[in-house]
Amino acid sequence: MHTPLHDLVEHGQSPWVDYLSRPFVRGGELDRLAARGVSGVTSNPTIFRGAMTEGDAYDEQLREQLRRDSDPKETFLGLAVQDVRAACDELRSVFEASRTRQDGWVSLEVDPRLAHDTDGTITEAVRLSELVARPNLMVKIPGTTEGLPAIEETIARGIPVNVTLLFSLKRHRQAAEAYLRGLRRLRDSGGDLRKVASVASFFVSRVDTEADRRLRELGGHDDLLGTLAVANARLAYGTYLKVFNGPEWRDLSEDGATPQWCLWASTSMKDRSRPDVFYVEQLIGPGTVVTMPPETVEAFADHGSVADRLAEGVAGARHTLEAFAAAGVDYDDVVATLEREGVEKFTDSFRGLIDGIENKRGQLLDA
């Protein structure tokens, strides 16, 4: 059945689903969404926390893992790796058929407690890549100051990377530059640039949530409400167009490199007064990826409107940022706050996941 998700692909954008669990893969839901046009999977600690610690879908394997592992993180990895491998295998044909190499990827995040630990992140990224052992795995690394050299090193080792928790234009450019440095090092060491890829996960809805809160505190400027996130993403796309053109990039491209595609994350609409697929519709453009929670995937497949809207708004987006500055909203502080809170939220979710596994230990082994 043809859906607007298929139309996204025709416009050069890859729709991914931001969800992963054992029932989701083994129960056929991922296969169903792939038939509707979904071509990739992202995951994060919050998603795994809900999947593993609520209900009984994992209890049988959890009981076995808990008997072997005293460290709850190792227990988590034992479970997560199986799910990620299964999703990678499910999308392997999509991955191999993708002419742009933009499709068929599955993402698994490094421990978010390592977000400010460069060496720890590198070690974990290598380990996750080796544990999953699938060519269509992307390791998610936060785009923090400490994460940037880890991104470069991971790419230089030939491991695909999903740069996550990007909110600022500065960080986005730095992530692109880290990717380029990693590619050059990989090529210089004799590596195959065709075997690596990267996306820059630029978070959307959270930007409006924080910026609108500040506007309301200041009072007035209602015309700016709900406008910063899309403008921010469009300017990031402008950076993408600049960085991944020109002689330096063409040199790498000729050796098989693919650009670091913009990935629009946090695309569900929090404001119920606005269309549920607003962010997805506003950020459609070639050479991009959009990841959506299952409910947004279903909504877009049902009533999404597809047209190239991304590049046409780049010029006006700069004026939007200037208008926020004139209104008294400090853009740099907004995005710094969001990065800090994003790391904290994922860290809290990971700790909750570990605590939930420990609670399951008592329930399952004492039963």
Give the Cα separation of 226 and 97 in Å (integer). Answer: 38
End-to-end CA distance of the chain: 46
Helix (H, G, I), strand (E, B) or coil at 61: helix
Please report the beta strands in 4-51, taking only residues with DSSP state E, as ranges in sequence order.
13-18, 41-42
The single-letter DSSP state of residue 204 is -
Residues forming the active site: 140
Contact 328, 218 (CB under 8 A): yes
Give the Cα separation of 128 and 121 in Å (integer). Answer: 10
CB atoms within 10 A of CB 86: 18
Helix (H, G, I), strand (E, B) or coil at 292: strand
Sequence-separated contacts (24+) of 177-180 with Cβ below 8 Å: 177/243, 178/148, 178/149, 178/151, 178/152, 179/151, 179/152, 179/155, 179/260, 180/243, 180/248, 180/249, 180/252
CB atoms within 10 A of CB 261: 22
